[in-house]
Amino acid sequence: MPNRLAHETSPYLQQHAENPVQWFAWGPDALALARETGRPILLSIGYSACHWCHVMAHESFEDPEVAAVMNRLYVNVKVDREERPDLDQIYQSAHHLLTQRAGGWPLTLFLTPDGTPFFAGTYFPKSPRYNLPGFVDLLERVAQAYAQKRGEIEQQNQALRDALARGNGEDTPESLHLTRAPIDGLRRLLEASFDPRDGGFGQAPKFPHPTDLALLLRRHIESGDARAKQMVLTTLDHMAAGGIYDHLGGGFCRYSVDGQWVIPHFEKMLYDNAPLLALYAEAAILTGAPRYRQVAEQTAAWVMREMQSPQGGYYSSLDADSEGEEGKFYVWTAAEVKAHLPADEFEVVSRHYGLDQPANFENQYWHLHINGDLREIAEKTGWSLSECERLLSSGRRKLRDVRDQRVHPGRDEKTLTSWNALMIDGMTRAGSLLGRRDWIASARRASEFLRQTLWRDGRLLATCRDGRAHLNAYLDDYAFLLDAQLDLLQADFRSADIEWAIALADVLLDRFEDKERGGFYFTSDDHESLIARPKPSHDNATPSGNAVAAFGLQRLGHLTGESRYLEAARRCLAAFFPFAENAPAGFATYLMALEEYLRPPTSIILRGPANEVADWQARLLSRLHPAAMVIPVAENCERLPSMLDRPTSDTVNAWVCSGVTCMSPVTDWAELDRICNSRDIG
């Protein structure tokens, strides 16, 4: 019989609904049972696309004998880290404090009935291996320790709770002076860790680090930093050539297990592809090289084809596994490829994607990555470059059609507000730069879905699946969606966007801000009580919610003239400045917000006939200046803030503003071009 997870919205929890484990979802019922029985809580945190989560489930949670031990000794709680990032943040931090090691998924913790962890780990095998204890033996030993060492455990728990509370920082002195020192500090750190041969930062496993790349690209555009440009383009080139990129279907996997980007961990996450889409579009404008546009186009096509629901919201992820094997959907045998392609197409495809080299996945399969340059292939085969390009394109289409007949990886079809906001931002930014109105329309559909389904009575909900929206939203939901609305109104202005942005900002200030120390808590002031209320500052797999909040509030403050948004952003930047100054790694998004505080963005407000406004807008966007906002205000908008409520006429009028101070309107493009050049815009 299904357990209690059968009625949850999370596909990850539903994957465990047939387990013999008597799982609870996190909630008052599980906590009450632990208090009533005196049993500790076994908390397991994972997500639906997680390979090692599946491994532990198959080995242990589906085993009746293991389940019997779990049911006898513990109250067992399963959490989807994507639906409950509040719990994941708290317990990942607790894991680090208890083990002095990085966490991950599955995250396995043993809690006292008040929710405080006293033992932690990640994946545990059923039987001892990988220098890890067997899970059944561990269950018995932890239960015994809990029964015999309550006093020691409570002392440790109090110390842990105190340490979690200290993580939110100290009071910031009024005399604190914000400078660009940490920006320069992170720039130096990134160069020191940069891999000049294969791109990226550090060694295997290698992650894309899109926020660091965005900061470096900004440094190049604003200061002419040629080395920063080189680091960005080298990384984008090698990622696009590597197997972390899906050469048949578009989109990027989460990370590469090697340092050359060849073999990925095959799960594909919405939140990775959103900023990468924007970065490749920016690289296309910066360089004019068609390879970056192609990657952006293929990635956006994948998002709209496979990751957008009929209702408009974006799905969360694709699993790493299919048919119980990681990567099975993506890999090939050379014979299989040869059987589906004509000889000329096979020759080009084989040389280009490395099928003429030894197998690169489990010593028997090929995972496609660019191994041969088409120009060299043209020289060796005698075909023209254009003919090789045609054969490659045709071969790719045929292989994708063949692959589409395979059993697909599982798709997590829940709609997360924060991740949708990231993709709305990525699709809007890329669509604006590359002139793809269909991408902007996709972002608009997702935005409208969030407004209609997850915005209720002036508050956001965090997740939705099959029409059921629930869970109190988090800092990231509000901050990311505020930022997305500010980009959307630059691409497709509607007065409703600025109104919603203001409403989101007001909830941030009213419900999330730390009024005493500055910055924003991850949970609202009416959220359920947990063992900690974190105030995260670092970028992780997604940007820092505090940094995005500061960034968005500053921009909204400049567009509306509302000083309380600017003041809240300044307090947030001040709260985390000592951390960023001392150790800037992980602060890229914060530092981009700091840069806009030190040098407020330029706003260029355009009003006039729609076609002419669109032309001026496109010319301004081609300058690719991240610190400029181009606002094409529609002709018949009402209820506009005074900063945007400018008169319209039969010709285009442009107001160039720095902060909340604007120049006289400009009606001649050549004059606007001169002003922009003199103000170092683009």
Render 170-186 in DSSP notation, one character per residue.
-PPPTT----SHHHHHH
Range(s) of the chain covered by CATH 1.50.10.10: 181-322+412-598
Cα–Cα distance between 305 and 322 in angstroms, integer?
Answer: 19
Phi-psi category of residue 659: left, alpha or beta, with phi > 0 → left and psi -120 to 50 → alpha: left
Q: Which residue has the tokens 């408009």?
A: 312
Structure tokens at 488: 């959307």
Structure tokens at 472: 């109190």
387 HSE (CA, 13 A, CB side): 10
ω into 205 cis (within 30 of 0): yes
The domain 181-322+412-598 is placed in CATH, from the list 2.60.120.380, 3.40.50.300, 1.10.1370.30, 1.50.10.10, at 1.50.10.10
Q: Of 98, 82, 79, whose CA–CA distance to 31 is shortest?
A: 79
- DSSP code of 509? I
Q: Which parts of 122-268 fold into alpha helices (H)?
A: 135-148, 150-166, 181-193, 210-223, 226-241
- pLDDT attached to residue 606: 94
- pLDDT attached to residue 682: 42
- DSSP code of 365? B
Range(s) of the chain covered by CATH 1.10.10: 330-405
Report yes or no: 76 and 24 within 8 Å, Cβ to Cβ. Answer: yes
**How many beta carbons lie within 10 A of that of residue 493, not counting itself?**
21
- CA separation, residue 469 to residues 12, 30, 454 (Å): 16, 22, 6
157 HSE (CA, 13 A, CB side): 17
Q: Of 474, 491, 515, whose CA–CA distance to 432 is shortest?
A: 491
- pLDDT attached to residue 647: 85
Cα–Cα distance between 112 and 158 in angstroms, integer?
Answer: 12
Structure tokens at 263: 């073999």
Cα–Cα distance between 495 and 473 in angstroms, integer?
Answer: 24
Cα–Cα distance between 57 and 39 in angstroms, integer?
Answer: 22
Distance of CA 603 to the CA centre of its chain: 27
Q: Of 270, 661, 633, whose CA–CA distance to 442 is shortest?
A: 270
- pLDDT attached to residue 173: 75
**How many beta carbons lie within 10 A of that of residue 27, not counting itself?**
11
Q: Does domain 330-405 have CATH number 1.10.10?
A: yes
- Host H or E run for residue 44: strand 41-46
- pLDDT attached to residue 549: 98
Q: Of 58, 98, 682, 588, whose CA–CA distance to 324 is shortest?
A: 58
Contacting residues for 449 by C-beta, under 8 A, at least 6 apart: 309, 311, 312, 313, 415, 420
Q: Classify residue 197 as exposed, middle or buried by CB count within 10 Å of its CB (0-12, 13-18, 19+).
A: exposed
Q: Strands 602-607 and 628-632, how do they pair?
A: parallel
Structure tokens at 537: 């500052």
Q: Which residue has the tokens 């909900």?
A: 461
| Mean pLDDT for back-to-back runs of 10 residues, the chain (682 residues) | 92 96 96 96 96 95 98 98 97 96 95 97 94 95 96 96 86 85 97 98 96 97 95 98 98 97 97 98 97 98 98 97 95 96 97 95 96 95 96 98 97 98 98 97 98 98 96 98 96 92 98 96 97 95 97 96 96 96 97 96 91 91 86 79 84 88 90 80 49
- Host H or E run for residue 24: strand 24-25
Identify each DSSP E strand in 292-340 by its residue range.
Answer: 317-318, 321-322, 325-326
- Tell me which CATH homologous superfamily contains domain 4-166: Glutaredoxin (3.40.30.10)
Structure tokens at 253: 């996997």
- pLDDT attached to residue 412: 97
414 HSE (CA, 13 A, CB side): 27
Q: Of 111, 105, 100, whose CA–CA distance to 33 is shortest?
A: 111
Residue type, 6: A
**How many beta carbons lie within 10 A of that of residue 376, not counting itself?**
12
Strand-pairing partners, residue 110, are 42, 119
Q: Classify residue 175 as exposed, middle or buried by CB count within 10 Å of its CB (0-12, 13-18, 19+).
A: exposed
Range(s) of the chain covered by CATH 3.40.30.10: 4-166
Structure tokens at 167: 């993580």
Report yes or no: 272 and 208 within 8 Å, Cβ to Cβ. Answer: yes
Q: Of 6, 9, 95, 2, whose CA–CA distance to 44 is shortest?
A: 95
